[in-house]
Structure 1
């Protein structure tokens, strides 16, 4: 692997490591200020709403001015947001911290655009996006273990740690991360500061509507369960911070093995990306049904299915969106992708908390329904659209 890709992946790794640190302890930290599951889900929704507005614009800025400055600015915002969050004495301060982080939430989509700037064909595109997915897995192997250990020392320590980690990441990116966007692929159109302009263009891109809709269903499914996962494990099996951290670590191991070895040598070798989109969506939905049953043996099977399903879908769904995008708008498309996930993450936790109050398993059954809708969207679209796409020959018009 070349130096540029390694540096981009290192930047992603440090960012994901921080996320892995806070996920197991976040609900328990928020419970210091409120005992309601709605407090946790609303906090996640506030961040998601802010990032929904900012991600496409940051993607556009990365297309015009380069991936490097956009990425560094986004990482610095993450650092500041976590520092404020860690110092919070009330829910209001926690909201402020997450909003600041969300208003420059471009780390992952800009990194995805940066690393796909270097690809030559479809297989290589899926491979490098698989590496990004593997970084997720490795981050979730190490991060939750660190978070659980730090959380035992102090409930605020994990958040101070990830704030400092992000600050170090920004410094490393400033000194060592090169620019990946080619000058001939620079965005030459006027930039609107209206955060809804990229979304308007997304709606006008008819060939990509099915991709965006299916990706939205994916986002709703993940957000419906992620915000209450730790609480569900506590209610269903009596697990607390340490056991939740171990589960996330085990999930990360499976995800990393899948992304590093199976993505290139099995999934992308044996199946086309559209077929993987379709059938992994079905497997993902079935996994959530098994988790919702709240029987431990079925939960293990469901956790494995959802881990494989989510890790493969994150690669192939984004890869297909990149394949259809014009190179001058690659950052924008990845920003729109992130914005869709943010929108679903702003909406889903609100009703997920309500569903959880009714019955802890209901958010998981709702997630299965969302994925079922996504399956039929993809199935219908694949009857009429090409099955493979060259990343250098986008099929959408330049709007």
Structure 2
């Protein structure tokens, strides 16, 4: 019972943080237009967030192993709250950059620690379900957030950022008083994956390297698409903050439902690697097809289903890593965040440059990169547990 209570608290914390993040999505195009920021500028802002996460994730993952999961989570939430407050107050691009840097630092603290916390609380039998629920809670935050953000934007385009800051503080206080530091996992991974993670040479171990490479390439393609989702709709069809909120809320809702209902049985039947392969192809196809859509309802229809593939890739990769990491869960979570952030640095920058040339180019680029990721999984990736 205590385990379930702790898991629910973690899900709630993740929900509140990502609710705060998604509150601001519908108003970002308005902020960009207000400050005359180009597509490349949006890419650099996104990359600033990811670059910070990239630099600090390996260290925060190790810090979660050394100092405890709870304290790292609390610190991350406080930093997140301050970053959102700063973005809401910012009137120059320099202030927005500082805010995004702090936001990336918060992400580097929160995600590896929460993932490791959940792994510590679960077993091999229920871990996929727990991590799937974590991602579902994350996505449910995105479901509620854009709708609320669209409503708040009717009052002020800055109000969603202040509400996000308050949610960050609520999450931090909840974690301080209600979370209990878990007992660490000491389980041993499969013999073929036993490695010492005392230094970064572990990354070059084939079973880790291919997994991280797939995470990098798939995230690289996804980030080129996701970073310009709201701006693309704004520029192509003149979507209002409310329209953007509907598109993102609908997509997040369907993605969350797919995770809750289908993720665990699909993993049991097909395995994480096959789920990732199918999801990459599904996502690449829809990212390519959306560039040919001209009507409001056609784009809305694709927006409602396009995130299903993306939302299955993330928990599948996280679950796979948790199984092969043994007692180095903080390391695996940190490296997962590291390679995700590395892709999120390069993808938005290239996507932003392409966006300024032609609105559709980032999506063509994204589709090609996702196909490359699929080919890597087919040619090189094998599950050591099934060899």
TM-score (norm 2): 0.91
Correspondence 1:320 to 2:320: yes
Q: Which runs of 4+ in 1 moved over 6 A?
A: none
Q: What is the aligned partner in structure 1 of residue 104 from structure 2?
A: 102
Structure 1 runs not aligned, ≥5 long: 186-196, 390-399
Alignment of 1:261-272 (within 5 A): 261-264=261-264, 266-272=265-271
- Equivalent residues of 1:49, 1:343 under 8 A apart: yes
Q: What is the aligned partner in structure 1 of residue 248 from structure 2?
A: 248
Match of 2:136 among 134, 142, 147: 134
2: distance between equivalents of 1:99 and 1:179? 28
Q: What is the aligned partner in structure 2 of residue 394 from structure 1?
A: none
1: distance between equivalents of 2:96 and 2:60? 23
| Aligned-residue offset at 1:285 | 1.1
SS in 1 for 2:384: coil
C-alpha change, 1:73 and 1:284, in structure 2 (3 Å) is same
Match of 1:51 among 32, 50, 53: 53
Q: What is the aligned partner in structure 2 of residue 179 from structure 1?
A: 181
| Aligned-residue offset at 1:117 | 1.4
- Equivalent residues of 1:20, 1:139 under 8 A apart: yes
CA deviation vs aligned residue, 1:331-362 (integer Å, no higher than 9, x gap):
12111111212121111111111111222111
Count residues in correspondence.
Answer: 374
Higher helix fraction (1 or 2): 2
| Aligned-residue offset at 1:294 | 2.7
| Aligned-residue offset at 1:268 | 2.8
- Equivalent residues of 1:140, 1:251 under 8 A apart: no
- Equivalent residues of 2:223, 2:348 under 8 A apart: yes
Q: What is the aligned partner in structure 2 of residue 386 from structure 1?
A: 384
| Aligned-residue offset at 1:199 | 8.4
Moved more, 21-30 or 45-54: 21-30
CA deviation vs aligned residue, 1:157-183 (integer Å, no higher than 9, x gap):
111111111011111110001112428
Match of 2:116 among 109, 113, 116: 113
Q: What is the aligned partner in structure 1 of residue 257 from structure 2?
A: 257
| Aligned-residue offset at 1:200 | 3.1
Moved more, 332-341 or 9-18: 332-341
SS in 1 for 2:26: coil
Q: What is the aligned partner in structure 1 of residue 194 from structure 2?
A: none
| Aligned-residue offset at 1:271 | 2.1
Structure 2 runs not aligned, ≥5 long: 188-196
| Aligned-residue offset at 1:375 | 0.8
2: distance between equivalents of 1:302 and 1:346? 26
Q: What is the aligned partner in structure 1 of residue 231 from structure 2?
A: 231
CA deviation vs aligned residue, 1:73-110 (integer Å, no higher than 9, x gap):
11111111111221112111111122122234221221
- Equivalent residues of 2:254, 2:305 under 8 A apart: no
2: distance between equivalents of 1:182 and 1:157? 40
- Equivalent residues of 2:61, 2:331 under 8 A apart: yes
CA deviation vs aligned residue, 1:27-67 (integer Å, no higher than 9, x gap):
32233222422222211111111111111111100011111
- Equivalent residues of 1:59, 1:334 under 8 A apart: yes
2: distance between equivalents of 1:366 and 1:356? 10
C-alpha change, 1:179 and 1:237, in structure 2 (3 Å) is same
2: distance between equivalents of 1:201 and 1:302? 42
- Equivalent residues of 1:25, 1:147 under 8 A apart: yes
Q: Pairwise CA RMSD of aligned residues?
A: 2.1
Correspondence 1:157 to 2:146: no
2: distance between equivalents of 1:305 and 1:92? 36
1: distance between equivalents of 2:91 and 2:198? 37
Q: What is the aligned partner in structure 2 of residue 92 from structure 1?
A: 94
C-alpha change, 1:358 and 1:254, in structure 2 (3 Å) is same
Q: What is the aligned partner in structure 2 of residue 72 from structure 1?
A: 74
Correspondence 1:288 to 2:287: yes
| Aligned-residue offset at 1:237 | 2.5
SS in 2 for 1:154: coil
2: distance between equivalents of 1:306 and 1:228? 14
| Aligned-residue offset at 1:225 | 1.2
SS in 2 for 1:24: helix
Alignment of 1:347-366 (within 5 A): 347-366=346-365
| Aligned-residue offset at 1:124 | 1.8
SS in 2 for 1:71: helix
Q: What is the aligned partner in structure 2 of residue 371 from structure 1?
A: 370
1: distance between equivalents of 2:355 and 2:174? 41
Q: What is the aligned partner in structure 2 of residue 191 from structure 1?
A: none
SS in 2 for 1:68: helix
- Equivalent residues of 1:199, 1:336 under 8 A apart: no
SS in 1 for 2:22: helix
Correspondence 1:18 to 2:20: yes
Q: What is the aligned partner in structure 2 of residue 144 from structure 1?
A: 146
C-alpha change, 1:118 and 1:298, in structure 2 (3 Å) is same
| Aligned-residue offset at 1:247 | 0.7
